[in-house]
């Protein structure tokens, strides 16, 4: 995750974001290919990627975080999935 010159690779930041969002989860389930739901501290965090549609339970304004920890609030209907995982938290 770090190159020979000590520079952090994108995988380092992806792992750091993953750990900050779902570390110490109490339950998790696979919803479909590229769609997972985790419960921690009584909140739901979805990890989503790929070409499928959004899970029906994700509606309204949500917080979306990409693998580089850039966050934004947006309406769930505006989310477009890609090959890069995102973390979605219900508001």
* Euclidean distance between CA atoms 54 and 41, whole angstroms: 23
pTM of the model: 0.86
Give the largest CA-CA distance in the chain: 45
Number of domains, the chain? 1
Q: Please, what's the b/e burial string for 55-79 (b: 16 or more CB within 10 A of its CB; e: otherwise)?
A: beebeeebebbbbeeeeeeeebeeb
Asked if the model's pLDDT at residue 10 lies above 80, the reply is: no
The pair of structure tokens assigned to 83 is 């090959």
What per-residue string of b and e applies to 17-40 under the rule 16 or more CB within 10 Å gives b?
beeebbeeeeeeeeeeeebbbbee
Of all helices (H) and strands (E), which one includes residue 90? strand 86-90
Does any domain span residue 3?
no
For residue 28, list its beta bridge partners. Answer: 38
Question: Which among 7-11, 21-25, 60-64, 65-69 has the top mean pLDDT?
Answer: 60-64
What is the extent of the structural domain holding 79? 10-90
pLDDT over 90 (residue 42): no
63 pLDDT exceeds 90?
A: yes
Domain assignment of residue 22, yes or no: yes
* pLDDT at res. 52: 83
């Amino acid at each position: 995750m770090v190159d020979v010159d000590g520079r952090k690779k994108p995988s380092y930041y992806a792992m750091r974001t993953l750990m900050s969002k779902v570390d110490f989860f109490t339950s998790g389930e696979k919803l479909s290919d590229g769609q997972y739901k985790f419960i921690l501290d009584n909140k739901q965090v979805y990890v989503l990627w790929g070409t499928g549609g959004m899970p029906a339970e994700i509606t309204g304004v949500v917080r979306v975080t990409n693998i580089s920890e850039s966050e934004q609030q947006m309406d769930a209907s505006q989310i477009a999935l890609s090959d890069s995982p995102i973390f979605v938290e219900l508001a």
